[in-house]
A = this chain, B = another copy of it.
């Protein structure tokens, strides 16, 4: 053992005097322990060197004897120091070398470990879609200000008060039975889904449902077909699950898969309201797709994300209702109809598949709160769900029409009237349902660049090309009109329209 180094001990006492905080919530013995440990690990106290005698440290720092003894005891229990009767306390010889002196900014060394390739790919895709301070035009963002929050809390408080102990534990029923029954009734009636309550699984989000389905039905390297353009959230789920994504073009009737190889394990579609273009898959194409799925041994994942908000014409029933072979997995979300922080989605699966999905979710993802699920069941059964839906449908329809009017007023003849615009025109696609429109831009414009410029203006309108894996059919911007109130949205619409007019003028596109 080396003798204590007087200078170092003085430095140590100075250091401790400086760093011990008398008015901290952290007890002094804990602070002392922590700083001594740091001094040992950083090499300020060398291996084998003596610690100050506890009495002298007490005096030097005006600490109680027990404070010092407690800290020394902890260091000894953890093996940092050893004490010998009569010989004082020494830093353990068995400790590893301290880090080199230059490594002051300690934790930056972690940058030498790269992220996984899949994380890098995912992050690239996520960041490409842009982030803005305001949710104006952010697609998929509902208006939560109109949600009957007080009523919801009243319903919820009853279930909170009476929560059985089991509802605080780990849950594995695939969802609260009352909610599954209420949803099954709603889906049969409103969406033509052919199911009973036992075929429903309540998930923590649409995203979780996508992940779960990918995991259960496909292995890494298997192929999934995706509409092009298509929902980026689904793309991220397939990427995270290691699937090979085959972007499949769509025409006005839906997916065009002719000649696609190899056979997919999953076919992901948004037949009721193609995301983001807004077209509806024809009945003939739906039947043909089910036939394809049967021939190729694939599951069909039907994402029915927003058909609750049908603004125009009769809704087509869900594709799931046409399925006679148990190939369709139907996905829905409550983030749009209620509010996103509820963290609730659901899926309807064929009977054979529901049990494995339930077990995998319960073990790998854990189920959400049955208190909130019971609340939602009441909300549906008492008719509040339907009433809220009707109210929001009205709000969104009016907002969409205002958005169209504002854009039309500022864009004049640049804006095509039908859905067959000239290549030098702007057109508004979709809008028969939901909470977004897709703005088709004249050929040749760089939608990514425009989206970036809009982002700098505080408007989050993602480029259509960020919904594509291959060459986009045309440049565009996706405009959500759910997340901002009327006044904010109209202000933003004017800003957007002026920006577009200026852009078109700069590109010498005539307004005739």
Contacts and interface: CB of A to CB of B under 8 A. Distances in A.
Contact of A364 (B106, B141, B236): B236
A153 B217 CA distance: 40
Contacts of A103: 324-325
Q: How large is the interface on A (under 10, 10 to 19, 20 to 34, 35 or more residues)?
A: 35 or more
A127 B358 CA distance: 12
Contacts of A322: 41
Most buried by B among A112, A288, A483: A112
B222 A314 contact: no
A418 interface: no
A295 to B, nearest CB: 12
A37 interface: yes
A275 interface: no
A440 interface: no
Interface in A345-373: 350-353, 356, 359-360, 363-366, 368-371
A122 B360 contact: yes
Interface in A251-273: 265
B360 A119 contact: yes
A94 interface: yes
Interface in A170-194: 170-171, 185, 188-189, 192
Given A145-B165, A327-B110, A353-B110, A208 B365 contact: yes
A326 B107 contact: yes
Given A297-B113, A325-B106, A360-B119, A204 B204 contact: yes
B222 A116 contact: yes
Interface stretch (A156-164, A403-411, A451-459, A467-475): A156-164
A17 interface: no
Nearest to A339: B168
Contacts of A109: 325-327
Interface string A325-346: 1110000000100011111000
Interface stretch (A51-59, A73-81, A422-430, A492-500): A73-81
Contact of A119 (B30, B73, B78, B217): B217
Contacts of A117: 219
Contacts of A250: none
Interface string A273-305: 000000000111001101100000111000000
Given A115-B353, A341-B371, 14 more contacts: A26-B189, A41-B322, A103-B325, A107-B326, A119-B356, A119-B360, A149-B168, A153-B161, A168-B340, A169-B341, A204-B204, A205-B366, A208-B365, A220-B242
Interface of A: 25-26, 30, 34, 37, 41-42, 73-74, 77-80, 94-96, 99, 103, 106-113, 115-119, 122-123, 126-127, 135, 141, 144-145, 147, 149, 153, 156-157, 160-161, 163, 165, 167-171, 185, 188-189, 192, 204-205, 207-208, 211, 215-220, 222, 233, 236-237, 240, 242, 265, 282-284, 287-288, 290-291, 297-299, 313-314, 316-317, 321-322, 324-327, 335, 339-343, 350-353, 356, 359-360, 363-366, 368-371, 483
19 contacts: A34-B192, A74-B314, A77-B314, A80-B283, A96-B291, A106-B324, A108-B352, A109-B327, A113-B297, A118-B215, A122-B215, A126-B363, A153-B160, A171-B341, A204-B204, A215-B240, A236-B364, A343-B366, A343-B369
